[in-house]
Structure 1
Amino acid sequence: MPIATAIREDPTEYIRHDQLFKELIDTFFAECLEVFFPEVHHHIDFSSIKPLSSEVFTDMIEGESRHADIVIEARLKGQNTLIIIHVEPQSSGQPHFHERMYHYFSLLYNKYRRPIVPIAVFSYDENRYERDQFTIEFPFFHVLTFNFLMLELRKMNWREYLQSNNPVAAALLSKMNFTEKERIKVRKEFLRMLMNMELNQAKTYWLNGFFETYLKLDEGEEETVMEEIKRTEDDEKLSMLPNFWEERGKMNEKREIAREMLKEGPSVEFIAKVTRLDKEKIENMKKEI
């Protein structure tokens, strides 16, 4: 008797991690393909790419909603052929993920009737075996084998991407395979890559925020990183790097001022005006005092 398998995602984990990866890949889509899937990148006409609406499909058996995270329409170079590129970030291990990729593929194909390039990006920390195909077969007949491309970050050597000067590779150093002793080195190389890429401030801050979500050093370690960078980089390059540490210190100082003011009795509105902190954050501080 056939067994219906329900595939569920933890919505909290999806928001915290899968959504971060979705934003990274959405923002730097071409760069992501270039560094991790160069064969795909080589054949895509990036002047033709068109993000399609976030796809939400209903499981007719369980009545649950499933999201296909990144769905891009593109044209192959030198051809009129339109294809769909589906990228699915996955932040937690699931035994039937390969089956879910096939579900997404079939549903997208039914809707668009175009060739689809399916890609899975695995970002969880544990080392585990992932299947890159889904098969339906019987002892007497092979029905189908569905294959998809995949990126397993935890199995990747971070040192292999240091010369790429690619923003996605730089951000994802934080999820690759490094030891505890290499944390400072990884952070230093990430900042060096940021300096060499010469991105605008908004993208630089965004990439740093992504990186620090997964690899965050304490103040002493950050000071070590900065001292090492100052010894190896010239002042002109250093000026391209926003002073994350100075601004973080200013924010910590503002929080301390707000806490002291709360003890003295001023209103939350007044403290927010003086410190320029969010009212909600000050309200939370007030509850803690």
Structure 2
Amino acid sequence: MTENQIDHDRLFKELLESFFAEFMELFFPEAARSIDLTQIRFLQQEIFTDVAAGERHEVDILVETRLKGQPGLILVHIEPQSYVQKNFNERMFVYFSRLYEKHRRKILPVAVFGYDRVRDEPDSFEIVFPFLDVLNFRFYKLELKKLDWREYIHSDNPVAAALLSKMGFRPGERVRVKLEFLRMLARMKLDPARMELLAAFFETYLKLDREEEEQLYRELGKMDKKEVDAIMQITTSWHEKGRAEGLAEGRAEGRAEGRAEGLAEGLVEGKIKAKQEVICRYLACRFGADSAAIQEKVPQLTDMDALDRVLDRLFVVGSLEEARSIIWEELSRFIQ
């Protein structure tokens, strides 16, 4: 997927609507302490038309909430910005003005700069005369590329985990960033839907190539067994889902006739291959080159139930011999 094909607005909208409180607590703690984060409602997108520029713009995230101990409602407007835009600070003021004109409420504006360039973006817009300061409009800004990813890896904040992929890291640190992301997810123990959302966001912006994936699994092999087990169980579902979707999509596009049969067949095949891949990667991670011989036998396990039984038992084995015994036990069911 190229940069132009990524729907940045949708990705940030899903992330911040799912973890709005966590986002505010992480990056704007002073505001978070004053806002009642238990009382939030996401409003429909506002559409502004700029006649002079000939453009239409949708306000991405608009939250209705209130301040603790104070009457009345306020709005929080969050504007993710994925590319450099001239006079963006002026646009933030225009959005603020339109929103205030319609809602007549206090509005807290927030800009999130997510592009891959380090810049000094302004956080204000002024209209000043020598004899009078007419306007000094200010907004919160978050420039992700300026953040040091290492400062967030010990957090149990899901937004921090997802946004590691947009923070400032060197190309040679990509594997380490992915590893720390996985460790954060393993600690947080989120429900599958939220975990999948974070994984989809992260891998959109930081997807390892094959060589980097191999390096990642070598690093996992040096870690504590319990932590590795937790990480491997998380990644099992991602491998399965990704392969199933890819095969199903390919079959659906490849032939119009028998599309339903192709989809069903592709889903099953994808799940089998995903489980086989996870078993092999786990063996390589835990036992290294010594497991090569038994890894060669894994593709012979093509029964879904057998693969599930192996996965259920594999994460608790204490030795390569135990792992080999489990796989041979399942293989023997079909040899007999």
Q: TM-score normalised by the shorter chain: which range applies?
A: 0.7 to 0.9
Give a deviation string over 1:1-38, Cα, whole Å, max 9, x none. xxxxxxxxxxx959711221111111110010111111
One-letter code aligned to 1:274: E
Equivalent in the alignment of 2:7: 16
Could you list the structure 1 runs, at least 4 aligned residues long, displaced by more than 6 angstroms after superposition: none
Please show how residues 97-116 of structure 1 align to structure 2 within 5 Å. Answer: 97-116=88-107
3-state SS of paired residue (2:84): coil
Counterpart Cα distance in 2 of 1:255 and 1:25: 30
One-letter code aligned to 1:204: M
One-letter code aligned to 1:241: I
CA contact (8 A) 1:13 1:91 kept: no
3-state SS of paired residue (1:105): helix
Q: Aligned pair 1:117/2:104, yes or no?
A: no
* Residue number among 230, 234, 240 corresponding to 1:237 in the alignment: 230
Q: Aligned pair 1:217/2:208, yes or no?
A: yes
Q: Aligned pair 1:77/2:68, yes or no?
A: yes
CA contact (8 A) 2:244 2:267 kept: no
Q: Aligned pair 1:166/2:145, yes or no?
A: no
TM-score w.r.t. length of structure 2: 0.71
CA contact (8 A) 2:60 2:78 kept: yes
Counterpart Cα distance in 2 of 1:140 and 1:253: 64
Q: CA deviation at 1:219?
A: 2.6
Give a deviation string over 1:188-244, Cα, whole Å, max 9, x none. 000000000100111111111111111110233223323423432333533652325
Relative contact order higher in (CA < 8 Å, ≥ 6 apart): 1
CA contact (8 A) 1:73 1:84 kept: yes
Q: Aligned pair 1:66/2:41, yes or no?
A: no
5+ residue gaps, structure 2: 269-336
Counterpart Cα distance in 1 of 2:114 and 2:156: 21
| Structure richer in helix, relative to its length | 2
Quickly say closer, same or farther: Cα 1:189–1:243, change in 2 above 3 A.
same
Q: CA deviation at 1:48?
A: 1.5
5+ residue gaps, structure 1: 1-11, 278-289
Give a deviation string over 1:169-190, Cα, whole Å, max 9, x none. 1000001100011000000000
Equivalent in the alignment of 2:127: 136
Counterpart Cα distance in 2 of 1:55 and 1:245: 35
3-state SS of paired residue (1:171): helix
Q: Aligned pair 1:29/2:20, yes or no?
A: yes
Counterpart Cα distance in 2 of 1:75 and 1:256: 45
Q: CA deviation at 1:252?
A: 8.8
Equivalent in the alignment of 2:267: 276
Counterpart Cα distance in 2 of 1:15 and 1:75: 33
3-state SS of paired residue (1:47): coil
Counterpart Cα distance in 2 of 1:188 and 1:82: 41
One-letter code aligned to 1:211: F
CA contact (8 A) 2:66 2:72 kept: yes
Equivalent in the alignment of 2:34: 43
Q: Aligned pair 1:88/2:79, yes or no?
A: yes
CA contact (8 A) 2:80 2:111 kept: yes
Q: Aligned pair 1:247/2:240, yes or no?
A: yes
3-state SS of paired residue (1:212): helix
Aligned residue pairs: how many? 263
66-75 or 191-200, which deviates more: 66-75
| Structure richer in strand, relative to its length | 1
One-letter code aligned to 1:78: G
CA contact (8 A) 2:248 2:263 kept: no
Counterpart Cα distance in 2 of 1:52 and 1:252: 32
One-letter code aligned to 1:242: T
Counterpart Cα distance in 1 of 2:231 and 2:57: 45
Q: CA deviation at 1:149?
A: 0.4
- Identity across matched positions, percent: 48
Aligned-residue CA RMSD (Å): 2.8
Q: CA deviation at 1:138?
A: 2.1
Counterpart Cα distance in 2 of 1:42 and 1:90: 25
Quickly say closer, same or farther: Cα 1:136–1:244, change in 2 above 3 A.
same
CA contact (8 A) 1:258 1:271 kept: yes
Q: Aligned pair 1:195/2:167, yes or no?
A: no
3-state SS of paired residue (1:243): helix
